[in-house]
């Protein structure tokens, strides 16, 4: 901003505000951002705030303030508006994704051109390619003025070659060999006998490495190493940015075994039920995986009794001297829950009641985890269902009601067959058939067959109602 503050050395009362240099932006927009109003006093102490406010709008390349008598004059140079955005060279990221990302950074079509925002987008895009393993990606931006206050952006991308892992080393391990640990990971150098264009093991991606480090941690925690930690991860690139070298340093810590295991809280479970659900055995090596299985078993057991939101909180009691971990599985039941409503979604071809009759969990009845699982299994077995999910959603404003949202992905169950043949006795043989496993969205089956030859014509129509009775006995 170029504004001479000397002309504002003496305070004056603003009688009018004039805006100069506008092309597309309205004077009202300028006045809205300007922190000065007609009738207010204005002096040099307010100049910087006024100029900054106009700059922060992102609409102007330059702002100047001057004074003519008691009139405040605001002279602006508008930023060019972004016209077309042309993107070339992108293969791994779709053009629509890039345009959406640019829009979120306020460098989309119709936005005022902000070079800082454009540079910020380029850096984020460069980081995105690096996270995907394309460290050598080149991104070039060219601005092409159109002469009407607009500018086109030409974004040229050279993604380069995907970086490949050349070496991955693990240090600090004592209980397990490096080869055994590397075998737990999805990342690593390509094997001698692996086929280059089929193997993805040596493809480097940041998210993939993070997932592998989590796997490494789980591997140790499931084998009693409670205090295992990854102390350092170093990733370096070859000069051509196509080779990746990874070093992972670990601190295993000591191995712990299970001490006493108990269940506390007001839960109403019998000793036999607890013994069946708790798979943790004192004296065995502590395993986080087995502990989670026990939590799941207890949760399912309580869920069968209607406690949809029971919480099982493992409270560890560590004996450092003997390297033992006792566990108190504390249960907070919460309120017994019943199902208010079952919502069927995604059934574009099939009637609602077809899916409802497969539900073992009913509306206005106590929630049952076992019935929920049976319902999901029955839905999944239908020939016209690709997948079925049941989400449990608490009812707002209550602590004892849930809705079940059944998400169905459907598939076609129609079958067609055409056959032809020839024999001296029967001449030309023709067979046509069609089978619908979900006739008109009712879940009923319709099959029509037609056989034709010189001596015979056979027609066969089969209609089966798999729910002829309420209990699911079919009739055809």
Condensed to tens digits (0 to 9), the pLDDT of residues 310-331 reads: 899 999 999 999 999 999 999 9
As a whole-number percent, the residues of the chain with pLDDT over 90 amount to: 49
**SS3 of 100, please?**
helix
Q: Which among 312, 280, 316 is positioned nearest to 299, based on CA atoms?
A: 312
Contact between 231 and 251 under an 8 Å Cβ cutoff? The reply is yes
C-alpha–C-alpha distance, residues 375 and 207, integer Å: 35
pLDDT at 289 over 90: yes
Token representation of residue 259:
């001490």
Structure confidence at residue 6 (pLDDT): 61
**How many residues are recorded in the chain?**
476
What tokens does 375 get? 């319902």
Between residues 415 and 208, which one has the greater pLDDT?
208
Strands (E), 106-228: 138-145, 150-158, 164-171
Contact, 401 vs 365, CB < 8 A?
Answer: no
**216-273 per-position pLDDT tens digit:** 999 999 999 999 999 999 999 899 888 999 999 999 999 999 999 999 987 878 888 8
- Tens-digit pLDDT profile for residues 334-390: 889 999 999 999 988 889 999 999 999 999 999 998 999 999 999 999 988 999 999
Band of residue 475 on the pLDDT scale cut at 50, 70, 90: very low
The torsion region of residue 265 among left (phi > 0), alpha (psi -120 to 50) and beta comes to: left
**pLDDT confidence of residue 473:** 44
Residue 476: pLDDT band by 50, 70, 90 thresholds? very low
CA-to-CA dists, residue 347 to 90, 140, 354, 406, angstroms: 37, 47, 10, 10
> What's the angle, vertex CA 272, arms to CA 274 and CA 335, rounded to 5?
50
Tokens of 286: 């502590």
Residue 10: the pLDDT is 82
Which residue has tokens 């001490």? 259
Q: What is the mean pLDDT of residues 414-426?
A: 73
Structure-token pair, residue 171: 């240090």
Q: Which of 217, 174, 165 is nearest to 194 (CA)?
A: 165
Report the 3 state secondary structure along 432-443: EEEEECCHHHCC
Q: In the numeric block, which tokens belong to residue 78?
A: 């508008």
Chain-wide mean pLDDT for the chain?
Answer: 87
Identify the pLDDT of residue 245. Answer: 94
The average pLDDT across 417-429 equals 73
The model's pTM: 0.66
- Separation CA 135–CA 204 (nearest Å): 10
Phi, psi of 116, deg, nearest 5: -65, -40
**What digits encode the pLDDT tens for the residues 136-187?**
899 999 999 887 788 999 999 999 888 889 999 999 999 999 999 999 999 8
- pLDDT surpasses 50 at 306: yes
How far is residue 231's CA from residue 244's CA, in Å, rounded to a whole number?
Answer: 20
User: Is residue 446 over pLDDT 90?
Assistant: no
């Amino acid at each position: 901003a170029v504004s001479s503050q000397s002309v504002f050395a003496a305070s004056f009362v603003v009688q009018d505000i004039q805006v100069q240099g506008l092309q597309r932006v309205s004077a009202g927009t300028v006045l809205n951002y300007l922190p000065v109003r007609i009738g207010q006093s204005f002096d040099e102490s307010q100049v910087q705030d006024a100029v900054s406010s106009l700059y922060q709008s992102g609409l102007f390349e330059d702002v100047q303030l001057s004074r003519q008598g008691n009139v405040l004059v605001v002279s602006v140079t508008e930023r060019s508006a972004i016209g077309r955005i042309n993107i070339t060279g992108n293969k791994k990221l779709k053009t629509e994704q890039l345009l959406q990302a640019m829009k979120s950074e306020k460098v989309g079509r119709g936005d005022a051109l902000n070079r800082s925002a454009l540079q910020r987008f380029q850096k984020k895009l460069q980081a995105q390619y690096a996270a995907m393993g394309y460290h050598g990606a080149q991104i070039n931006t060219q601005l092409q003025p159109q002469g009407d206050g607009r500018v086109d952006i030409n974004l040229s991308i050279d993604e380069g070659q995907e970086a490949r892992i050349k070496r991955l080393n693990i240090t600090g391990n004592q209980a397990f060999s490096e080869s055994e640990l590397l075998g737990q990971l999805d990342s690593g150098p390509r094997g001698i006998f692996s086929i280059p264009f089929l193997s993805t093991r040596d493809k480097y991606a940041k998210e993939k490495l993070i997932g592998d480090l989590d796997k490494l941690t789980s591997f140790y925690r499931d084998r009693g190493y409670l205090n295992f930690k990854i102390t350092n991860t170093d990733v370096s690139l070859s000069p051509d940015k196509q080779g990746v070298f990874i070093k992972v340093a670990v601190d295993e810590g000591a191995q712990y075994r299970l001490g006493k295991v108990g269940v506390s809280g007001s839960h109403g479970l019998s000793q036999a039920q607890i013994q069946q659900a708790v798979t943790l055995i004192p004296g065995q090596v502590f395993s986080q995986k087995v502990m989670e299985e026990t939590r799941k078993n207890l949760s399912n057991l309580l869920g069968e009794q209607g406690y949809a939101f029971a919480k099982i909180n493992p409270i560890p009691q560590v004996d450092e001297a003997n390297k033992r971990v006792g566990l108190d599985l504390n249960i907070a039941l919460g309120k017994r829950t019943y199902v208010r409503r079952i919502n069927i979604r995604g059934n574009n071809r099939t009637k609602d009641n077809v899916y409802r009759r497969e539900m073992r969990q009913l509306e206005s009845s106590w929630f049952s985890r076992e019935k929920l699982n049976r319902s999901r299994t029955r839905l999944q077995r239908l020939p016209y269902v690709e997948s079925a999910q049941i989400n449990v959603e608490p009812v707002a404003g209550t602590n004892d009601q849930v809705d079940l949202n059944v998400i169905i992905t459907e598939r076609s169950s129609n079958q067609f067959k055409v056959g032809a043949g020839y024999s001296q006795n029967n001449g030309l043989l023709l067979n046509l058939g069609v089978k619908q496993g979900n006739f008109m969205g009712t879940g009923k089956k319709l099959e029509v067959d037609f056989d034709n030859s010189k001596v015979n014509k056979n027609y066969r129509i089969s209609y089966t109602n798999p729910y002829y009775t309420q209990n699911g006995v079919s009739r055809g």
